[in-house]
Chain A
Amino acid sequence: MKNNVLLLLLITLLFLPFEKVSAQCFAEVTYPTADTTICVGQSVNLQAFASCSYLMNNNFNNGQIGTGWSSNANPMYNNPCGPGLPGSGVHCWIGSATNFPRELVTNPFLLFNGCNISWEMRYAADENAIDCEDPDEATEGVHLQYSLPPYTTWLDINYWTPNYSYSGPLYVWNEYSQAVPVAAYGSATKIRWYQNLTSGFEWDHWGVDEVQIVCPQSQNIFWSNGPTNTLSQTVTPTMTTEYIVAIFDSLGNIATDTVVVNVIPIPSADFATESPVCVNQPSTIGLAGTADPNVTYTYNFNGGTVVSGSGAGPYEVSWPTPGTYNITLTSTQGACSDSEVRTVVVNSDITVSISPSSASVCPDSSVTLTASGGDTYAWAADPTLVSDNTGIAIATPTAQTTYSVTASNTMGCTGTSTVVVNLYPTPNISVSPVPSAGCIPVVVDFNSDISPAAISYSWNFGDPTSGAANLSTMDSPIHVFSNPGEYDVTLAVVSIHGCPASAVYPSMVKAYDVPIAAFAADSNMINLDNATVGFTDMSVGALSWFWDFGDFGSPTNYSFETSPSHTYTSTGDYIVWMVVDNGFCSDSAYTYISVIQDIAFYIPNAFSPYNEDGINDVFMPAGIGAGMGDNTYRMLIFDRWGQLVFESEDVATGWDGKINGEFANQNVYTYFIEVRYADNLWRKFWGKITLVH
C-alpha cells in the first residue's frame, strides 16, 4: 500500500516541472550523462546519484560547475596546473579569468546538525606560467563561509592562510572536511568558497574538486519504469523511452532527473547466397529484402573476388579454390549494427576419369573409353571416335591419338580429362627359308624375323600332303618338303602387343624331283687282257650324265656320255661313279670294277731235303702273277709245336728243311704264306707240309 502511494506520488510529480535539485534533494542520472541511443535488443545500465542527503555533489568531470551553486570566477575545467588526486578527474579551477574577489556560492540549503562539507582543494604552486600563480600573501587564501538570509553578511567557517614559500599541504591536493557550524544551521543557508584578495587576474589561483555538502535524510528513490530504492538499473527498451529518477525525503523535498534512451531498430543484415557453386563460378549474394538507404551494408566475402556488384548488392562473387566460405554482412545504421553470416560452399570442378586411363590398340582395333565423374559428357570430336553423351566412346585410332572429354554435373561444375590411346605397330613379318629351293626331300629351316617380337606363330607350309607337319607354331620351324613342287608359305603371328599379322609368300619354297642314277657294267671283273668295260645307263629322269671310271691316270677317266665304255690299262679295283642330273637335282651310282690278271700259284705238300737229290729239296711255292717285287711275299713255317722254324720274304727263297743248320726232323710242318698278286691284292695261304727224309 505504501508503495502504491509513493508510486502515485511519483506519477503526479513527474508531470510537475521539477529539477535535479529541489531543496534538500538532489538527483542526477550519472550514466548515461546525456540522452543516449541504443539499438533494439541492447541494454543500458542506468546509474543515478540521488540523495536528499547530498545537498550538493559536484566532481566537475563533465566539465561543468555542477548543480547547487554558482561562481563569479569563470572556473576552468581543464586542470591547467596538473591533475588532482587519483581518480578525481577534472576539477574546478579558479584561474586568470577574474580578479578578486573570487567565489563559489551554493544555493540556499537547509542545514542542521550533522551536515558536513567536504571537498578537495589546493593552491597553485607556479606549475604553469598561466593560471597557476601561487597565492602567497596572508590575505590571498580561501575562506569557507556561510551566510544566512538575507545574506548581507558572511562568516568564516575556516580560512587557509597561504605562505610565501608556496609549499606545504595547501599547495598540493588535499581533502578537506568541515562540519557545518551550529551558527550556520538554518533553512536557507548558503555556503561559499571565497578568495577576498588577489594581486590581479594573473595571480593567486586555486581549485576545488569533489565538493559535497551532506545532510543525513530519510529518502525514497523511484524510477519512472518501476524500480525503487535503487540507484542503478539495466533497461532494455524496445522503443524510445524517457526514464525519470526521483527522490523524496521525509520533508517532502523531491528531486528528479531524466534521461531519454532513444531506441532505434537494428538494421537487418539478412542476406542470401547462392550455394553451392563451383570454383570461379560466381555466387549471387544479396540482401534478402530491400536495401534501406539509411543503412550501410558492408560485406566481407572472405577472400572472394567480386565480379560485379557494389553497395548493398547484389554481388557476383567467385572463389578460386574450393572450400566453405563464411560471408558476413554487417548492416550499420548509426550506432546500431547487425551482422549475419552465410555460407557459400565452393565445390571444386569435378574430377573426370577415363577408363582405361591409358590404352594401346592394334591397328584397326578399337578400345572402349568410359568417362566417369560427371553427369553428362562431351567428347571432343575426332574422326576416329564414336561417342555419345553417356561417357562411353569407342576409339579406333589410326595413330597415337589424345581424346578429350568434358564432363558436367547438375551443379554446373565441369571437368576435363584426356586419355592417350597409343597405336601398336603392325608386326612386320620377314621369313627366310633356308634353303628356299632344293631337291626332295627339301628340309627347309624357316627363320622368321618379327618386329615387334611375336608371342605366337602359325605356319602353313602349303604342303598339305605332309599332314599335320604342314602346320607349325614354332618360331623357326623346319619342314620337309617331300614332294616336288612350289609351296606357298603362310606365317601368321601375334605380336607381343597382341597385334595379329600374317604374310603369305607364294612359291617361297621350290622342291625339285630327284633323278635316279642307275647303270649296269658289262662285267665287274675283267681281265687285263681284255680290259674294256661297257656301262649301260639305266637312270630315270636324268638329263645329263657324268661318269668317273675311277681310273684317275687315264685321260678318259671321265665321260658325259649316257652309256659310255672305258678301257683299263692296269689291274686293280676301280670304283665307277655315275652322276646324273635333271637340271636341279642329281643322283649318283657306283660300282666296282676289278681288272685282274691271270694268276698261277702252286704250293707243294711235301719235300725231301735230306737226301739232297736235287729233287724237292727245298720247300717253296711256285706260280705266276704273284710275289713279284719287294714286299710282295712272306712265308712262315712252324713246327708242330708252333715254333717258327723258317721265315722268308723272297718268293725265290724256300725252306731247305734245316733248322739252325741242321736238317729238321721228318715231320709235318705248317706253312703260312702271304703273297701279293699282280693285282696288288694280298692273298693268304696256309697248309701242311710234310718234310720227308
Chain B
Amino acid sequence: MKGFILLFIMFPLLALCQNEPARAITLGYEQLTGNWTEISSVEGVIFYAKKADCNHPENGIFQEMALIKVVNTTPYNITVSWDLLQWLDGQLWTRLPVRAEKKKLIHLEEGNSLEGSCDQDSDYYSSLTVFCRFLNYDDKPELTKFELSNIIITPYEK
C-alpha cells in the first residue's frame, strides 16, 4: 500500500522523465576549478564539478582528475545514470555507441549527495571521476571536455 501511494505521488515526476528528452551536461576543462562548481541541475538533481590532483605516489600515479558531485534535492530516492563522453586533445576519446564501462549509475536517497574522490577504491570512483591529465607527463593526451549525456533520473522505492 505504501508503495502504491509513493508511486501515485511520484507519477508526475515519472511522467516528466518519461516524456522529456534525456539531458546532457557538457563541461570544458577550462571550466573546471579547484572548487565545487554547479554545472547543471536536472529535476532537482544538481551536478557539481571540480578538478583535483589525484596523486598516488605509492603507485607512481600523478594525475589531475575532474570530480563530480551529485546532489539529490528531490524528496525521492533516485538513481541517476548517464553516459560519460570524454574528449582528449580535442578528440572524442569514447567509443560509440557507448559501452557499458562508460555507462554510469549512482543511487541517491532523498536529500543525499555523492561526490567523486581520488580514492580509486571508492564505490563511485569510476562514475564520479573524469581523467584530465597526467601531471608527470606533458606528452600524454589531456582532457578537452567531457559530457554527461543521456542523464536519466529514476526514483526508486527504498
A: residues with CB less than 8 A from B are 100-101, 136-139, 143, 145, 147, 152-156, 159, 161, 163-166, 194, 196-197, 199-200, 203
Contact of A164 among B56, B61, B93, B140 (CB under 8 A): B93
Q: With A101-B59, A145-B60, A154-B58 given, is the CB distance from A159 to B140 under 8 Å? A: yes
Q: Is B92 an interface residue (CB 8 A)?
A: yes
- Residue contact B93 to A154, C-beta cutoff 8 Å: no
| Interface of B (DSSP majority class) | mixed
- Residue contact A164 to B60, C-beta cutoff 8 Å: no
- Residue contact A194 to B59, C-beta cutoff 8 Å: yes
Contact of A196 among B59, B92, B136, B141 (CB under 8 A): B59
Q: Is B94 an interface residue (CB 8 A)?
A: yes
Contact of B136 among A100, A136, A156 (CB under 8 A): A156
Q: How far is the CB of A191 from chain B (nearest CB, A)?
A: 12
Q: Is B82 an interface residue (CB 8 A)?
A: no
Chain A proximity mask over B44-80: 1 for CB below 8 Å, otherwise 0 = 0000000000001111110100000000000000000
- Residue contact B137 to A164, C-beta cutoff 8 Å: no
Chain A proximity mask over B141-156: 1 for CB below 8 Å, otherwise 0 = 1000000000000000
CB contacts under 8 Å to A, within B79-113, are: 86, 88, 92-95, 101
Q: Which size bracket describes the interface of B in this complex?
A: 20 to 34
Q: Is B36 an interface residue (CB 8 A)?
A: no
Measured between alpha carbons, how far is A165 from B94 in the docked complex, in Å? 8
- Residue contact B131 to A138, C-beta cutoff 8 Å: yes
- Residue contact A156 to B60, C-beta cutoff 8 Å: yes
Q: How far is the CB of B56 from chain A (nearest CB, A)?
A: 8
Measured between alpha carbons, how far is A580 from B98 in the docked complex, in Å? 169
Measured between alpha carbons, how far is A100 from B61 in the docked complex, in Å? 14
Q: In the complex, which of the residues A164, A165, A200 has the most CB atoms of chain B within 10 Å of its own CB atom?
A: A164
Chain A proximity mask over B113-139: 1 for CB below 8 Å, otherwise 0 = 000000010000010000100101100
Q: With A138-B88, A163-B93, A200-B101 given, is the CB distance from A154 to B60 under 8 Å? A: yes
| Interface of A (DSSP majority class) | loop
The interface residues of chain A lying within 8 Å CB-to-CB of B140 are: 138, 159, 161
The interface residues of chain A lying within 8 Å CB-to-CB of B88 are: 138
**Nearest-CB residue, chain A, relative to B63:** A139
**Nearest-CB residue, chain B, relative to A138:** B131
Measured between alpha carbons, how far is A147 from B58 in the docked complex, in Å? 9
CB contacts under 8 Å to A, within B9-61, are: 56-61
Q: How far is the CB of B128 from chain A (nearest CB, A)?
A: 14
Between-chain CB contacts (< 8 Å), 14 pairs: A101-B59, A138-B93, A138-B131, A138-B141, A143-B60, A147-B60, A153-B58, A154-B59, A159-B140, A163-B93, A164-B92, A164-B95, A165-B95, A197-B126
A-B contact count (CB 8 A): 56
- Residue contact A155 to B60, C-beta cutoff 8 Å: yes
Q: With A139-B63, A143-B60, A159-B134 given, is the CB distance from A203 to B101 under 8 Å? A: yes
- Residue contact A199 to B137, C-beta cutoff 8 Å: no
The interface residues of chain B lying within 8 Å CB-to-CB of A153 are: 57-58, 60
Measured between alpha carbons, how far is A147 from B61 in the docked complex, in Å? 13
Measured between alpha carbons, how far is A163 from B86 in the docked complex, in Å? 11
- Residue contact A196 to B61, C-beta cutoff 8 Å: yes
Measured between alpha carbons, how far is A210 from B60 in the docked complex, in Å? 24
A-B contact sample (4 more), CB < 8 A, given A137-B86, A139-B131: A143-B60, A147-B60, A164-B93, A197-B126
Measured between alpha carbons, how far is A153 from B55 in the docked complex, in Å? 11
Measured between alpha carbons, how far is A152 from B134 in the docked complex, in Å? 20
Measured between alpha carbons, how far is A143 from B140 in the docked complex, in Å? 12
Q: How far is the CB of B27 from chain A (nearest CB, A)?
A: 17
The interface residues of chain A lying within 8 Å CB-to-CB of B59 are: 101, 154, 194, 196
Q: How far is the CB of B138 from chain A (nearest CB, A)?
A: 12
Per CB-CB distance, the 9 closest pairs between chain A and chain B, nearest first, are: A154-B60, A199-B101, A153-B57, A145-B60, A164-B93, A164-B95, A138-B131, A139-B131, A155-B60
The interface residues of chain A lying within 8 Å CB-to-CB of B61 are: 143, 196
Q: How far is the CB of B71 from chain A (nearest CB, A)?
A: 26
The interface residues of chain A lying within 8 Å CB-to-CB of B60 are: 143, 145, 147, 153-156, 194
Q: How far is the CB of B87 from chain A (nearest CB, A)?
A: 10
Measured between alpha carbons, how far is A304 from B110 in the docked complex, in Å? 96
The interface residues of chain A lying within 8 Å CB-to-CB of B131 are: 137-139
Q: How far is the CB of B122 from chain A (nearest CB, A)?
A: 13
Measured between alpha carbons, how far is A347 from B146 in the docked complex, in Å? 99
Q: How far is the CB of A149 from chain B (nearest CB, A)?
A: 14
Measured between alpha carbons, how far is A138 from B134 in the docked complex, in Å? 9
Q: How far is the CB of A96 from chain B (nearest CB, A)?
A: 14
Measured between alpha carbons, how far is A136 from B99 in the docked complex, in Å? 11
The interface residues of chain A lying within 8 Å CB-to-CB of B134 are: 159
Q: How far is the CB of B156 from chain A (nearest CB, A)?
A: 24
Measured between alpha carbons, how far is A165 from B96 in the docked complex, in Å? 10
- Residue contact A197 to B95, C-beta cutoff 8 Å: no
Measured between alpha carbons, how far is A155 from B137 in the docked complex, in Å? 12
- Residue contact A136 to B95, C-beta cutoff 8 Å: yes
The interface residues of chain B lying within 8 Å CB-to-CB of A164 are: 92-95
Measured between alpha carbons, how far is A199 from B57 in the docked complex, in Å? 21
Q: How far is the CB of A143 from chain B (nearest CB, A)?
A: 6
The interface residues of chain B lying within 8 Å CB-to-CB of A203 are: 101
Contact of B120 among A136, A194, A197 (CB under 8 A): A197
The interface residues of chain B lying within 8 Å CB-to-CB of A139 are: 63, 131
**Nearest-CB residue, chain A, relative to B129:** A139
Measured between alpha carbons, how far is A147 from B95 in the docked complex, in Å? 35
